[in-house]
Copies of this chain bind each other. A is one copy, B any other.
């Protein structure tokens, strides 16, 4: 009985891991597509998001089914409730990667990002890629050090987000209104992507330590 439950619990972990790997691919490809105005890559990211949404639904059904059949308590319960929480954050990260791809598609064959902002978005793409990669590793390892690092690293995305404002609001900014709108929204999408990575990192820290303090106000953004 317990053995079967353990299997089902690890299936929840596997589901989260599978979702996070697809999000890692999505955000990497979305950033590449954005930088190169690569319509085909953008379309792939947009199409692939349905699979992530479907994984979330399956994972949630599995969690609710586990709650009903196994009546878990203590750590088991915490794992399942955290699974429900983390699947929502990972799904949302997939949506945000899709949004980046959708802007790319909208502006194709033009590059959505004007030259003066390209370095900033290259850095944001790297930071988001790192966050997604760390989330995958976090779900594999439940490493508290890594969880703390994800939270620290999010300052990079927040700082880059702020820099996009500094850029568009500087007297030197010569972008069109459409470019200002795109830069503003794209930077917001990356910044929110990082917030969700932090939410997952805090959820895992809570899972490992049982300390609610870890959950904090991760949605503040």
A contacts, CB < 8 Å to B: 53, 57, 61, 64, 67-68, 71, 73-74, 77-78, 81, 84-85, 88, 91-92, 95, 165, 168-169, 173, 175, 177-178, 180-181, 184-185, 188, 212, 215, 217, 219-221
Contact = CB atoms under 8 A, between A and B. Distances in A.
16 contacts: A53-B217, A53-B219, A67-B77, A68-B74, A68-B77, A84-B84, A95-B219, A95-B221, A165-B181, A168-B177, A169-B177, A169-B181, A175-B177, A177-B180, A184-B185, A188-B188
A165 B175 CA distance: 16
Contacts of A74: 68
A193 to B, nearest CB: 14
A73 B70 CA distance: 10
Tell me what chain A mostly uses at the interface: helix, strand, loop, or mixed.
Answer: helix
Nearest to A94: B219
Nearest to A61: B212
A68 B73 contact: yes
Contacts of A88: 85, 88, 219
A175 B173 CA distance: 14
Given A73-B68, A74-B68, A81-B67, A219 B91 contact: yes
Contact of A81 (B64, B168, B221): B64
Nearest to A176: B169
Nearest to A78: B64
A221 B94 CA distance: 11
Nearest to A70: B71
Nearest to A80: B67
B77 A215 contact: no
Nearest to A81: B64
A64 B91 contact: no
A81 B53 CA distance: 18
**Most B C-beta atoms less than 10 A away, residue of A61, A92, A95, A181:** A181
Nearest to A221: B95
A1 to B, nearest CB: 15
